[in-house]
Structure 1
Amino acid sequence: MELTRRELIAAFLGSAVAASACRRSRPREPVPGAIIDKAVDVGHRLRGGPLPRAETVEPVEVLIVGAGAAGLSAAWRLMGAGLKDVRVVELDDEPGGTARSGKNSVSAYPWGAHYLPAPLTEQGAVMRLLREMGAVSGVDAEGSPTFAEELLIREPDERLFYQGEWYEGLYLRAGASAADLAEAERFDARMNAFAAAKDSKGRKAFAVPTALSSDDAEWTALDKLSMAQWMEAEGFRSPRLKWMVDYACRDDYGTTADGVSAWAGIWYYAARQAGRGERGEGFLSWPEGNGRLIRQLLSSLPPGRVERHVLVHTVEPGAEGCRVEALEAGTGKARAFQARQVVFTGPRFVAGHVVAPWREQRPEWMGAFSYGPWVVANLTLSSPPRSRGFPLAWDNVFHDSKSLGYVVATHQAMRQYEGGPTVLTWYLPMVGKDVKAEREKVLSAGYGEWEGLVMADLMAAHPGIAEQALRLEVMRWGHAMIRPSPGLMWGPARFAAQESLGRTLHFAHTDLGGMALFEEANWFGVKAAERVLKELGHSFTSWL
């Protein structure tokens, strides 16, 4: 069914954005650009039945399937242990998965994850990686790490657009009643208490990564409720507070508070602070977002160890190793690898199509995993967008839109204050409960529709932005983020999915942690690599 422009905008961004777009409607030249994702059609070949097998086999000691953050973390760990015969194969033309980045003559920019919360402790693989990057500046008086000043997001860091004006922060204080503010203060106090809570073994109730969190029933019982249900039960009913919590769930988890486990919702506020209401040193970011972390992981690998445009379609585990069948995406040439050890770093729904025993008999737990689609767009401007109210920040959020607003790729360089060109990275999570229908909406819209949607959203806050727009590029992520639905975080499915198949096939992905976060990808990538080292008989000290 053909939708009118207003209906299309309302369907994707909400009625408030549609009404604003119609009020401001006037002829304009479309912004030149393109949809740039390429892997969708090739990846969907996995659903089409048997694919050809190769006649010859390439031997390799360790094969890593997937060059996202988890796969590259596994390769980084194996290189750190001195292994030489490690190969990574990747379907896409660029490594990094949803942490990948792009670059033009103006700036580098993210195509997905765009920051890393500053770790609270000196321990762990993420801190090792940050030290390798030169991002760690020292240790404070309490023994917590400190970070290079230029990497910590500088102020102003956040602002909110509401009814024609920009306001500081993400909690809308303008016009808030005394009851609203009291409820927000009570919510903060509860989150601080959760952050400070520890069990009898000294484990934080909510920790980073999730594997280090307490498994005491006092806390894990929260996983049975949605965040919206928990808020209601606790008497948190202020519309302003509920909007902010819902935004947090959309931002980190790709769905609304009624679709997120209360445990995960509380984790968002509690895990990255020590109970004093401050999130460590803040956030670390680069113009390319977490693409900078991907670049660091890649730097640990010798040239040629990551092969692009390789579609793995079958993994057959055996007692002596795994046979892995693949196609070269460009030529269609069949290839096969015989690996002593394999680390599969795709999501569970892909594993269900690729891992031979699961293709024949799908595990019951696989149905517990649900993935939300996202759209990310990068808009290059000749000059910074003009604003009314609080000035341009790193993170710029629209109160009345289904989008998350945008981040400014040149924020750390302060170039926007010099009036020069910049890049805005715009995010839209598709939060509907029917993820298949949401995915079809994302993939059915062409460049013209996406250009109209992105510009309608931005023009509501920046009426003159169309005249500043130079180029728009759009990336569609059909299965971008695992959703931590009620019951996933502490239910049996997530733990069953973490188990290796035999002694030769191991798994790593953010969905094993229940959250699409770099810390989870890195943890499971390193964990899988250390299982490989154990099976190969190497002695090592764990990085976890």
Structure 2
Amino acid sequence: MELTRRELIAAFLGAAVASACKREAPRAPIPGAVVDRAVEVGHKLRGGPLPSAQTVEPVDVLVVGGGIAGLSAAWRLMGAGVKDVRVVELEADVGGTSRSGRNAVTAFPWGAHYLPAPTEDRGPVVRLLREMGAVSGVDAQGLPTFEETLLIQEPDERHFYRGHWYEGLYLRVGATAEDLAELERFDARMNAFAAARDAKGRKAFAVPTSRSSDDAEWTALDSLSMARWLEREGFHSTRLKWLVDYACRDDYGATSEHVSAWAGIWYFAARQDGQGERSEGFLSWPEGNGRLVQQLSSSLPPRAVERDVLVHTVTPSAKGCRVDALDARTGQPRSFQARQVVLACPRFIAAHVVAPWRTERPAWLSAFTYAPWVVANLTLSSPPVSRGFPLAWDNVFQESRSLGYVVATHQRLRQDENGPTVLTWYLPMAGGDVKAEREKSLSASYADWEALVMADLRPAHPGISAQAQRLEVQRWGHAMVRPTPGFIWGPERQAAQESLGPSLHFAHTDLGGLALFEEANWFGVKAAERVLAGLGVASESWL
């Protein structure tokens, strides 16, 4: 049964957005398209046996997957002087959910759009930022400082509620004394978590998660949901619950009911010093984390990265790994013999690709669940009209299931305040049944997505339909791993990190349990350093 327009909006964005939609005069549809193609190519892995090539191409190190983890592994290997490194990627573009696009107006993100400024002057992320000239120096405490042009300019955040925009993420207008008291108490609890250290001096909640304390005092929080923790601790304010729920949807693609309390607290505590300071700020570029993809890619020789390669079988042996693949454009088979392999893809894909796992399914596999997302880039002839607090970098809707949008041209608005811009709109499909959410996102047509995006934006921006020039939509069926209760500190995630024999190593953000740049980068570098050990290359760890 076909849904009415109002039913469609309610199903995706919630009843509040649907009820806010007013009947509008007929308008021409906004030109655009659904631009992703991973589903049609990637689902070939579900079919029968695929052919192997007659000729086998030898390579020292083959990295399968050109997302952040795979590129980070290759970057680390090149940094150690390993020359014969090949990266193969299924898509036409590398970067995974950090990749970006560009049109005549600006570059824009197709996924991750910022990087929290690191709070320590160590680790591979700071090394990468130094290589790209983003680190301006070190302060009196020995902590890195960053180029001002890369830190988000004010205004950075605003919040739309009942016809007006307000400053910040927490809705203070109309807040009761009880609401504000709960917020103050919650902030104090998060500061205490941020300051907590174990007997070894490790932070209770650290970036990346691998640096966090494994003491039971903290890991026990992983056993219950963030929603249950709020209830247990006596937090009842609707506004605070909204803020926490927004945080979970923003970083984890799930509501607080489906996120572990450890992960929920990590969001608020890991990147601050215990005094309420949440690092120096956020680093961002018009293309979002696509700029980090460019930096990682620039460390590799041009011919080291091959796109449109569908790897379907990895067979480890005593002499390395045989890797069988298809050219996704021509359908022709290809095969590689690698001394070492980094398989930098999600666990659910690895289970189809690693030959021994086809006959003996890994016991840990069912613990991994992935949230689908939809990202849309809307090009406008001029910035949208607003009531209340002015246009910010991050623009959030109180009553929508979407996360609102970021402005790709924000960092240069002062130079061109009235010129064309691109809004990047985000919708995490945050329901509990991820399969149903995925099917829902993939079943919607371009016309459906156009109706949904504009229904979300129009109440906050009168006249935006007349400004709209083009809309492009990207569906991410398995965008991010979900840190469900029991997952972060459960045995399954730990088991999934282990190499298979001496030559097959794994890297992906899902191994960290949080779909964040720092996790992908960490596990990419970690896998690369296992490769170095396998090759007999001595190199000081970057971790």
Letter in 2 for 1:14: G
After TM superposition, the structure 1 = structure 2 runs for residues 88-127 of structure 1, keeping only pairs within 5 Å, are 88-127=87-126
Partner of 1:10: 10
Query: Alignment partner of 2:316: what SS?
Result: strand
SS at match of 1:327: strand
- Alpha-carbon distance in structure 2 between the residues aligned to 1:358 and 1:274: 43
**After superposition, where does 1:186-335 map in structure 2 within 5 Å?**
186-335=185-334
8 Å contact kept, 1:352–1:358: yes
Output the CA distance in 2 between the equivalents of 1:26 and 1:456: 14
Structure 2 residue 410 is the aligned partner of structure 1 residue 411: yes
SS in 1 for 2:459: helix
1:408 shift after superposition:
0.2
Q: Equivalent residue of 2:76, what SS?
A: helix
CA contact (8 A) 1:381 1:421 kept: yes
SS of residue matched to 2:538 = coil
Paired residue type of 2:231: E
1:199-255 alpha-carbon deviations (Å, 9 max, x no partner): 010000000000000000000000001000000000011000000000000000000
User: Does the alignment pair 1:130 with 2:129?
Assistant: yes
The amino acid across from 2:37 in the alignment is K
**Structure 1: segments with no counterpart, 5+ residues:** none
Counterpart of 1:498 in structure 2 is 497
Please state if 1:142 is matched with 2:141: yes
Query: C-alpha distance in 1, partners of 2:345/2:383?
Result: 38
Q: 2: CA distance between counterparts of 1:279 and 1:54?
A: 52
Q: What are the residue-to-residue correspondences of 1:330-409 with 2, within 5 Å?
A: 330-409=329-408
- SS where residue 460 of structure 1 aligns? coil
Aligned equivalents of 1:278 and 1:260: distance in 2? 24
The code of the aligned residue for 2:20 comes to S
Contact 1:64 1:342 in 2 (8 A): yes
Per the TM alignment, residue 418 of structure 1 is displaced from its structure 2 partner at its CA by 2.2
| Counterpart AA for 1:511 | D
The DSSP-based 3-state class of the residue aligned with 2:536 is coil
C-alpha distance in structure 2 between counterparts of 1:257 and 1:240, whole Å: 14
One-letter amino acid of the counterpart of residue 125, structure 2: V
Q: In structure 2, what is the Cα distance between the partners aligned to 1:522 and 1:435?
A: 26
Partner SS state of residue 342, structure 2 = strand
After superposition, what is the alpha-carbon deviation per residue over 1:18-53, rounded to whole angstroms, capped at 9, x for unaligned? 1112x2433111110011101211100101121111
What is the identity, as a one-letter code, of the residue corresponding to 1:7?
A: E
Task: Give CA-to-partner distance per residue, 1:304-352, whole Å, 9 cap, x none.
Answer: 1110000000000111100000000110000100000000000000001
CA distance in 1: counterparts of 2:457 and 2:82, whole angstroms:
49
Please give the alpha-carbon distance, in whole angstroms, between the structure 2 residues aligned to 1:24 and 1:96. 40
Indicate whether 1:433 and 2:445 are aligned: no
Deviates more, 1:515-524 or 1:135-144: 135-144
Q: 2:153, 2:298 → 1: CA distance?
A: 27
Query: Mean alpha-carbon deviation: is it higher for 283-292 or for 412-421?
Result: 412-421
Letter in 2 for 1:248: A
Please list the CA deviations of residues 173-214 of structure 1 after superposition, one character each: whole Å capped at 9, or x if unmatched: 000000000000000000000001000100000000000000
The C-alpha deviation readout for 1:378-436, integer Å capped at 9, x for no partner, is 00000000100000000000000000000000001125862000000000000111111
Deviation at 1:360, TM superposition (A): 1.0
Residue 537 of structure 1 corresponds to which residue in structure 2?
A: 536
Q: Are the counterparts in 2 of residues 416 and 422 from structure 1 also a CA contact under 8 Å?
A: no
Aligned-partner SS, 1:218: helix
The count of aligned residue pairs is 543
- Matched ranges for 1:25-104 at <5 A: 25-104=24-103
Question: What letter is aligned with 1:182?
Answer: A
Q: Deviations over 1:105-140 (max 9, x none)?
A: 100000000000000010000000000010001111
Structure 1 position 484, deviation (Å): 0.3
Counterpart CA distance in 1 for 2:459 and 2:480 is 28
CA distance in 1, matches of 2:84, 2:34: 37
Query: What CA deviation, in whole Å up to 9, does each residue of 1:77-105 have, x standing for no partner?
Result: 00000011000000001000000000011
Look up the equivalent residue of 1:434 and give its one-letter code: D
Q: 1:416 & 1:224 partners in 2: Cα distance?
A: 50
> Which consecutive unaligned segments of at least 5 residues does structure 2 have?
none
Structure 2 counterpart of 1:18, one-letter code: A
Question: Aligned pair in 2 of structure 1 residues 416, 386: CA closer, same or farther (>3 Å)?
Answer: farther
SS of corresponding position for 1:418: coil
> 1-side partners of 2:527 and 2:23: how far apart?
53
In structure 2, the partner of 1:424 is 423
Contact 1:151/1:285 (CA < 8 Å) preserved in 2? yes
Question: What do residues 264-301 of structure 1 show as CA deviations (whole Å, max 9, x unaligned)?
Answer: 00000000011111111010000000000000000000
RMSD of Structure 2 on Structure 1 (CA)? 0.8
Deviations 1:453-490 (Å, cap 9, x if unpaired)? 11111112112100000100000000000000000100
Amino acid at match of 2:498: E
The residue matched to 2:36 in structure 1 has which SS?
coil
Counterpart secondary structure, 2:273: coil
1:442 paired residue number: 441
Aligned to 2:516: 517
Amino acid at match of 1:491: G
Supply the distance in 1 between the matched residues of 2:421 and 2:322 (Cα, whole angstroms).
47
CA distance in structure 2 between the partners assigned to 1:329 and 1:416 by the alignment: 43
**Residues of 2 paired with 1:523 and 1:24: CA distance?**
50
Asked if the contact 1:410–1:416 (Cα under 8 Å) also holds between the matched residues in 2, the reply is no
Ranges of 4+ aligned residues in structure 1 off by more than 3 Å: none
CA distance in 2, matches of 1:311, 1:33: 28
| Alignment match, 1:462 | 461
Residue identity in the other structure for 1:300: S
Q: Helix, strand or coil: the match of 1:364?
A: coil
Counterpart-to-counterpart distance in 2, 1:152 and 1:45 = 42
3-state SS in 2 of match to 1:241: helix
Paired-residue identity, %: 76
Amino acid of the structure 2 residue aligned with 1:399? Q
1:19 alignment counterpart:
19
Counterpart amino acid of residue 411 in structure 1 = H
Q: Deviations over 1:121-175 (max 9, x none)?
A: 1000000000001000111122111100000001100000001100000101000
CA shift, 1:532, in A, is 0.2
Which position in structure 2 is the counterpart of 1:180? 179
Contact between 1:415 and 1:422, CA under 8 Å: does it hold in 2?
A: no
Distance 2:517 2:183 in 1: 29
- Partner Cα distance (1:458, 1:29) in 2: 17
Please state whether the residue corresponding to 2:412 is helix, strand or coil.
Answer: coil
